[in-house]
A and B are shown apart, each in its own frame.
Chain A
Amino acid sequence: MNLRHIWVLFTKDVAHGTRNVIFILAIVMPVAFSLVMTVLFGTVFSAKPKLGVADVGSSEFAAQLLASDFMEVTDFESQDELLSAIETGAVAAGVTIPDGFDDDLVAGNVTDLTIYMWGQSLISDRTIIGSAIAEDVLDASERDTPIAVNTELVGDREALSWQQRLLPLVVLMSVIIGAVMVPSTSLVEEKEARTLTALTTTPMTMGEVFFTKGMMGVLLSIFSGVMILSLNGGWGPNPLLLILVLILGGAFASAFGVLLGARTKDVQTLFAVIKGIGILLYAPGFIALFPDTIPQWIAYIFPTYYIMQPVIDISQFGAGLVDVLPHVAILIILTLALMAYLATNAKRLQVRVAA
């Protein structure tokens, strides 16, 4: 691999390929879809308000908050950590529980408790968090409440909201459109214009061309994923892990896009193939739309499931590396297998282009 060759072609692609319709669509489509969902549902990601708690002592009250069903509560080591999480929007609000808080509460010594709110948090989240904390304070103070408020659920308790069902599809769109479409169309366009032949009669190898096109796809899918997560405050407590999964997902999808581009003769055929296999790429997202009618294990047989699920687990449920490791491991294996295939077949694919 000659890095200079890769850099030269990459800068050319960035300078001239970005005017391409597919390139623009790859950025606009997932972001537009996500924005539509944001308008409809408030935010694409978790419907539960996110609260951060920094428990300085070992408070029962804090434990009670952490066990809340209404909120997604994350435990922080210190108030500084909590405040920086709020500033980045990782949590919508946060509260620091001082040492001896429980005893003071029972004794009636506490006069106020500060809730730190993220400036861009939703009004609904602020209301839920405020009232939930107030209710828990009342419980922990062991005092009688003036009235008893009963909550009764109406409708199917197990049903998932459309927002939750559509989320996997948004995640897949953000990764796949850029990573599959951009490298494949870019390669096929180079083939159609015969510029690929011109490139490979210079010291640049077909493997280097593949790598450059794939790299463009990875970067675009990361950009798209980051945009969607940022627009929807979906970073969760492990943003670095999320980025790692986005990189891996982008690498897998880009390798697939390069393979598609290498094997396809012209743009018309490519679009026909993408239409045909698109349903397979997005299948895990569609399966997630109908949890009651389609057995969810079917999604496991589609490789893109191993991109989608870790992203959702991390951003929605605050999963850590250990939780998503099995899925990530499968994703790594699939990516390496595809890359190995491309590396060993680059020369043969060059002959197909030249012949």
Chain B
Amino acid sequence: MSHDWPLYEVFVRGKRGLNHVHVGSLHAADDQMALHHARDLYTRRNEGVSIWVVKATDITASSPDEKDPFFAPSGDKVYRHPTFYDIPDDVPHM
């Protein structure tokens, strides 16, 4: 059989209080096997307390080609940042 097992992307929560972070990928025949392989491959030294696996084909990603237009809507909205506003230095706790 020429089929490769499908590709899964792996996300690990390093410890409580942190987000899951993408750490890499692996091949597995199904979701459960992907989880077990992810444990063996990416958490051999207590690197995680929780793992997500998702088939790579199920991920929708923005394209780098349209990077600028895609993120343009936030580019010109400087008033979303606190530094946009002038507050006198002697106003406390602001």
A and B part of one assembly:
no
> What is the interface of chain A, defined by CB distance below 8 A to chain B?
none
